[in-house]
Amino acid sequence: MYRGREGQWAFVLHRLSGVALALYLLLHVLDISLVMYGPEGPFNTFLAFYHQWPFRVGLILVMAAVVYHAFNGLRIILMDFTDWGTKYHRQLWYGVLGATTVVGIPVLLKVVPEILGVGHGG
């Protein structure tokens, strides 16, 4: 049985985060375009829908995906454009996980209470 190593996990997580971000961006562009129908149009309905807890949790996951995807993209650039990138791909991936954690935790600590409405009547 094949058990994925660092390279495969990096690939899978990069694809999943990329697809998730593309879907989020598409949804965001479509719902913002509803503003043109006026204040009584479907935009306010969608806005109220997005304030439900599943979408708030989804927004937290989008934030995590942005941070991981950005750092892993830098890893891919290093692998493509340096002589040593492929030699140290495993260490680079663990660096991506570390950087994602180091940057992601403070971002999430700031953003999660705002998204979940904790502390200000959300």
Domains of the chain and CATH, by start: 6-116 (1.20.1300)
* pLDDT tens-digit series, residues 14-51: 999 999 999 999 999 998 898 888 777 788 888 888 88
| Model pLDDT, residue 53 | 83
Is the pTM higher than 0.75? The answer reads yes
Do the beta carbons of residue 55 and residue 49 sit within 8 Å?
yes
| Model pLDDT, residue 1 | 62
CA distance 65 to 20: 8
